[in-house]
Amino acid sequence: MAEETRPTVFIVNASTGEEITRPVTDEEWDAMKQSDVRSAETRAAEEAIEAQRVADKASGDAKLKALGLTDDEIAAR
């Protein structure tokens, strides 16, 4: 398996104008990968919450429809 290409870090010292370009360190690379994993987990959790909200709304709408409300009355709530 090929190793992923690591990004580079570009640092500019605002006082001196010195510019440094270097590859990320192992620690920075590990932190970036961990951040990516956390972001994916958060995104998956948010998608699951949204899917549940949509399912709950559909279930609620169906129950209101079964009680005899019209689509307009359901939409007005």
66 assigned to some structural domain: yes
Residue type, 3: E
H or E, element range at 59? helix 26-66
* Residue 22 maps to a domain: yes
Q: State the residue range of the domain holding 49.
A: 8-76
Task: Tell me whether residue 2 is in a domain.
Answer: no
Residue 3 lies in a domain: no
In angstroms, the CA 3 to CA 34 distance is 16
> pLDDT tens, position by position, for the chain (77 residues)?
556 789 999 999 999 999 999 999 999 999 999 999 999 999 999 999 999 999 999 999 999 999 999 999 999 98
* pLDDT value, residue 77: 80
Is residue 59 a part of any domain in this protein? Answer: yes
Q: Residue 53 falls within a domain, yes or no? A: yes
Res 4: pLDDT: 78
At 2 the pLDDT is: 57
Domains identified in the chain, total number: 1
Q: Provide the token pair at 24.
A: 């990320």
The pLDDT, as a whole number, for residue 52 is: 98
Residue 70 lies in a domain: yes
